[in-house]
Amino acid sequence: MFNFISLAIVAIAAVSSVSAQTYTGGEATYYFQNGVAGACGQVNPDSALIVAVQAQRFNTGLCGHQVQVTNTNTGASVVATVADECPGCQNNPNSLDLSVGAFEQIATLDEGVVPISYTYL
């Protein structure tokens, strides 16, 4: 029981420590779900508004947390739910991988990569 409470406190602290900060200088890409569960254990359709967080920043305490992602070129934004980690984002800790549905809210798929800022809500 003590270990569970300790783990819960650590998870809450991890989420709380990122919630007030806006991350800038990153890039958004998109990925296809292919019917595979993400790191949070859920299978989502490509149309779902989900996000994969950079692998070094990801922890399961972020699963289900909402993130507002803004295309800094256009100002278009989307609120997406953390559902996965992004091992391909390793070169920039401020980068995110978005589902097709989320990416299409801020850019066209033809653009492929766009500069972003994001904030945990």
φ, ψ for residue 82, nearest 5 deg: -65, 125
Residue 109: give its domain's CATH number.
Answer: 2.40.40.10
- Which range marks the domain in which residue 21 is found? 2-120
The confidence score (pLDDT) of residue 46 equals 96
| Gap between the Cα atoms of 87 and 98, Å rounded | 13
Residue type, 103: F
Task: Give the model's pLDDT for residue 90.
Answer: 80
Query: pLDDT at position 19, please?
Result: 58
Query: How confident is the prediction along the chain (121 residues), in pLDDT tens digits per residue?
Result: 544 444 444 444 454 455 569 999 999 999 999 999 999 999 999 999 999 999 888 988 999 999 999 999 999 999 999 999 998 888 899 999 999 999 999 999 999 999 999 999 9
pLDDT of 56: 86
**Strand locations in 1-121 (E):** 22-31, 50-54, 66-71, 77-86, 96-99, 114-120
